[in-house]
């Protein structure tokens, strides 16, 4: 058996992935292990903890690894102490590999878009970076057809030559903080201006672009026309940013728009202007990414799309691509951010050596480790948390949620990527609109304008939600049907949109059964699903993390690998007396 280790990230989002016997067997982000969201604040100079995590999962040692690969933006300190050679490949290439090869497609267009990827110096000394890349995947081949590369000024290399032989040329020294024609930078800068930020593990304020997407639902089209004046859609899928007629670029225009609201005589609330800015940013981003997707379709002639890069964590933009009919089918890598480059890097090693096997089943984001009963019991005992094993945890959980409880669920392998998909999740009753306030104020401590997601059995999706394709990873944002808006209002956003997670019985039988149990009790096969963490912290990884979460957040119970846990003996006894009686529910 041959093993390939992929190291991912850049200056943040560090991660490791292990491929063995032609399959992805392990992947984890370092944020989960260091408890530093997005890796900010992880001390430099040490080998990433995710490396030993993945090796331990497979029961192998570093000397057993046949090749280690990474991308050309990862900080060298992350791997210099490994004592083993590391192959460095292009950042966007690892993104492309992370989505095409796990997609299962025989061939497809492959689109990568983010803030910026690999960077290099042109013959005249100008520093440029890739911001959008167009590949075509066919079999084991992944071919770069075109890319958009730009610098910090209006000078843009439309069709850059291939990477220089030394892909590490700019590592650790050169920075490209303002790539002028970057869709990712456009969205991130407007998120920052709109106040969509959080304090992360290094104690610094960082932009949270995902918040801007949630905020957009509260806005109107008031600022769209003005923002459109700051860019032009050009040939070959390009977007050119420039000043408007007044000489202002999009950043200054956005600041002036918010300032005008503060100064307005009618006292227009600042929130409304922030929401209008978010609405315009979202609408314009969708236009830009559609423009790129349409070019990719024409360039490749493919009807299937595989996509990755931070832009594709935007579910509204993903939905727009499919809704427009640009592609018939799409696979969006669940770990589309920089951590996903670990996946692509490891796969590239296996492909190079003829060791990759095209998957026959849908990709699973459950790539973290599972924890044994002894580990769970030990963690609860060490934290002096009352706990009791129950015969049927799905039934107990369904009963409790239907009665208004908010339950943290820890089960099986952890998710790889920024979305909790039911294995490190907080679950609640979507019929109760008031539960959002409970989650915002008592548990998640987050802004009230952000939505919560539904998790639904795939066979019931169409009854409650309309999406343009399968949505197993919360990466498509559809619309609630009339019945869905009425039946499960807690997961329907202000504008009627829903960020759907579908579950089928084959890929996640326990969660599917839990939804069935809830339907038997409450009448709907839908639960509210949000990640088991608070704002500014990563999702829990270990039973010890879950124990700390139980004590710091006001969930009613933690159900972990068949054990029900509560903050006191009295609370546990009351919970079990209400929800763990022995009559059995038979889920359909």
pLDDT value of position 156: 36
Contact status, residue 204 vs residue 193, Cβ threshold 8 Å: no
Binned average pLDDT, 10 residues per bin, the chain of 588 residues: 96 97 97 95 89 97 97 93 93 98 98 92 85 97 94 45 34 55 96 96 94 98 98 97 96 95 65 96 98 98 98 98 95 98 98 95 96 97 97 97 98 98 98 97 95 98 97 97 98 98 97 98 98 95 97 95 97 96 60
SS3 241: strand
pLDDT value of position 268: 60
SS3 208: coil
Q: How many domains does the chain have?
A: 1
The DSSP call for residue 366 is B
Q: Could you tell me if residue 138 is inside a domain?
A: no
pLDDT value of position 124: 83
Q: Could you tell me if residue 256 is inside a domain?
A: no
Kindly report the CATH number assigned to the domain that includes residue 550: 3.90.870.20
CA 205 to chain CA centroid, nearest Å? 20
Q: Could you tell me if residue 420 is inside a domain?
A: yes
| Residue 427 lies in domain | 373-579
Strands 67-71 and 3-8: what pairing?
parallel
Q: Could you tell me if residue 462 is inside a domain?
A: yes
pLDDT value of position 209: 97
Beta pairing partners, 424: 410
pLDDT value of position 178: 74
pLDDT value of position 399: 98
Q: Angle between the 393-402 and 569-579 helix axes, to the nearest 10 degrees? A: 90
The DSSP call for residue 160 is P
Q: Phi and psi of 502, rounded to 5°?
A: -100, 145
Q: Which residues, including other chains, have CB under 8 Å from residue 189's CB and lie 6 or more apart?
A: 250, 251
pLDDT value of position 160: 34
CB environment 71-83: b (16+ within 10 A), e (fewer): bbbbbeebbeebe
Q: Could you tell me if residue 524 is inside a domain?
A: yes
pLDDT value of position 581: 80
Q: Could you tell me if residue 411 is inside a domain?
A: yes
pLDDT value of position 176: 54
pLDDT value of position 264: 58
Q: Could you tell me if residue 402 is inside a domain?
A: yes
pLDDT value of position 349: 97
Q: Which runs of consecutive H residues, i.e. helices, occur in 59-207?
A: 91-103, 183-193
Q: Rounded CA gap, 127 and 51, in Å?
A: 32
Q: Rounded CA gap, 238 and 158, in Å?
A: 8
Q: Rounded CA gap, 366 and 364, in Å?
A: 5
pTM of the model: 0.94
Q: Rounded CA gap, 200 and 36, in Å?
A: 7
pLDDT value of position 157: 37
pLDDT value of position 583: 55
């Amino acid at each position: 058996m041959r093993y390939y280790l992929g190291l991912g990230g850049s200056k943040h989002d560090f991660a490791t992935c292990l491929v063995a016997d032609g399959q992805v067997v392990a992947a984890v982000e370092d944020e989960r292990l260091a408890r530093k969201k997005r890796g900010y604040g992880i001390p430099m100079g040490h080998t990433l903890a995710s490396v030993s995590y993945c090796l331990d999962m497979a029961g192998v040692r570093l000397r057993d690894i046949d090749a280690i690969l990474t991308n050309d933006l990862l900080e060298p300190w992350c791997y210099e102490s490994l004592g083993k050679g590391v192959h460095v490949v292009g950042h966007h290439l690892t993104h492309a590999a992370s989505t095409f090869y796990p997609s299962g497609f025989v061939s497809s267009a492959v689109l990568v878009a983010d803030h910026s990827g690999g960077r290099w110096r042109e013959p005249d000394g100008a520093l440029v970076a890739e911001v959008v890349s167009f590949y075509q995947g066919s079999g084991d081949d992944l071919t770069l057809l075109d890319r958009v590369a730009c610098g910090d000024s209006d000078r843009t290399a439309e069709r850059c030559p291939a990477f220089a032989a030394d892909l590490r040329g700019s590592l650790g020294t050169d920075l490209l903080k303002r790539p002028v024609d970057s869709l990712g930078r456009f969205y991130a800068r407007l998120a920052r201006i709109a106040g969509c930020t959080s304090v992360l593990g290094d104690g610094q304020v960082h932009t949270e672009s995902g918040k801007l997407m949630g905020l957009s639902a509260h806005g109107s089209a008031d600022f769209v026309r003005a923002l459109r004046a700051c860019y032009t859609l050009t040939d070959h899928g390009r977007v050119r940013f420039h000043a408007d007629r007044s000489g202002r670029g999009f950043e200054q225009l956005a600041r002036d728009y918010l300032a005008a609201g503060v100064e307005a005589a009618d006292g227009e609330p600042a929130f409304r202007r922030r929401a209008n800015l978010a609405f315009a940013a979202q609408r314009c981003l969708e236009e830009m990414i559609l423009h790129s997707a349409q070019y990719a379709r024409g360039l490749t002639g493919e009807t299937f799309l595989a996509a990755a890069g931070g832009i594709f964590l935007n579910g509204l933009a993903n939905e727009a691509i499919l809704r427009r009919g640009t592609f018939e089918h799409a696979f969006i890598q669940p770990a589309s951010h920089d951590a996903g480059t670990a996946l692509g890097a490891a796969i590239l090693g296996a492909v190079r050596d003829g060791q990759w096997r095209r998957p026959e089943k849908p990709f699973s984001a459950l790539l973290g480790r599972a924890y044994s009963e002894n580990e769970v019991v030990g963690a609860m005992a060490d934290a002096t948390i009352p706990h009791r094993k129950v015969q049927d945890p799905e039934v107990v959980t369904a009963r409790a949620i239907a009665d208004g409880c908010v339950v943290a669920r820890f089960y099986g392998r952890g998710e790889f990527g920024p979305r909790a998909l039911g294995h490190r999740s907080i679950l609640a009753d979507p019929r109760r609109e008031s539960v959002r306030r409970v989650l915002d104020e008592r548990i998640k401590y987050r802004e009230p304008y952000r939505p919560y997601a539904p998790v639904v059995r795939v066979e019931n999706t169409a009854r409650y939600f309309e999406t343009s394709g399968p949505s197993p990873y919360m990466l498509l944002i559809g619309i609630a049907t009339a019945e869905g808006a009425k039946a499960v209002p807690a997961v329907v956003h202000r504008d009627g949109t829903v960020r759907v997670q579908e579950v089928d019985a084959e890929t996640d039988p326990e969660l599917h059964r839990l939804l069935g149990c809830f339907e038997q009790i409450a009448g709907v096969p839908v639960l509210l699903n949000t990640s088991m963490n608070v704002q500014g912290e990563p999702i829990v990884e270990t039973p010890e993390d879950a124990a700390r979460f139980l004590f710091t957040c006001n969930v009613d119970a933690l159900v972990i690998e068949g054990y029900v846990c509560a903050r006191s003996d009295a609370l546990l006894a009351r919970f079990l007396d209400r929800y763990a009686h022995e009559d059995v529910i038979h889920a359909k």
